[in-house]
Amino acid sequence: MPHLLLDIGNTRAKFALSDNGKLILSDFVDLNHSDTLHSLCDIYHPDAAIASVVGNMPDFNSLLPSPLASHLHLLSCNSRLPITIDYDTPQSLGMDRVAACIGARTLCKDYALMVVDAGTCITIDILDDSNCYRGGAILPGLKMRLRALHDFTAALPLVEPDSAQWDGSQPVPLAGKSTRNSILSGVLNATLFEIQSFAQQFNNTYPSLKLFLTGGNADFFAKQLFFPNFANSNLLFLGLDKILEMNL
């Protein structure tokens, strides 16, 4: 039977459907309108659901049909997992980070993994080759950095990259020759260098490290990083599906 997978992040929510471990559908969803998920459930009849919630907890009893709401697993540090956690404060750990690592593990079995989720914030997480989650780093996301330069200065404008710059197909000049391009260089290039440096340093500890990218700005980093990488927008959903199977 299909499973309903919900990713409720800081700024938006997504859903996916899986069947026998394969994703068959995914899209964004407006949590203020329950009709979408109800209609989806009427068509596909999922028998269980799992939700990763980063922001405010929605009212799942109204969002989901009552039979499915009673078979909803809320991801937490108490969920049964296919990996172990080495983290000093597991209650504060964003479990979406863990789920993305588990999703990457379904695609790459035998190596240490560095998983970068480039969304509102950028998270960097390490899963070693013995399937132990070793923690990571949290960085401001690209839009957050651009917004901060505008909000905390008197004269700098709020800059939006061109579409070709956002998706990484057009590199940002290292030396900007306008205020706009100087801001873009400082934000986009510096963030790129940070992730590159994290990958190189972690590779010293975990030789043959594999780098996975996910999140809204994954394409930018995938095309610009010198470190070999794999971009997959569905890592979190792949991980949620694996976790749900263990918690039915």
- Produce one character per residue of 9-20: b if its CB has 16 or more CB atoms within 10 Å, e if not: beeebbbbbbee
CB neighbour list of residue 75: distance below 8 Å, 6 or more residues apart? 50, 51, 52, 53, 95, 96, 99, 240, 243
Give helix 95-107 / helix 235-246 axis angle, nearest 10°: 100
Q: Indicate if the alpha-carbon torsion angle 127, 131, 133, 134 is positive or negative.
A: negative
Q: How far apart are CA 5 and CA 244, in angstroms?
A: 9
Q: How far apart are CA 156 and CA 190, in angstroms?
A: 18
φ/ψ region of 114 (left if φ > 0, alpha if ψ in -120 to 50, else beta) reads beta
The set of catalytic residues is 96
Q: Supply the DSSP symbol for 94.
A: -
- Which long-range CB contacts under 8 A does 88-94 form with residues at least 24 apart? 94/54, 94/123
Q: How far apart are CA 97 and CA 233, in angstroms?
A: 14
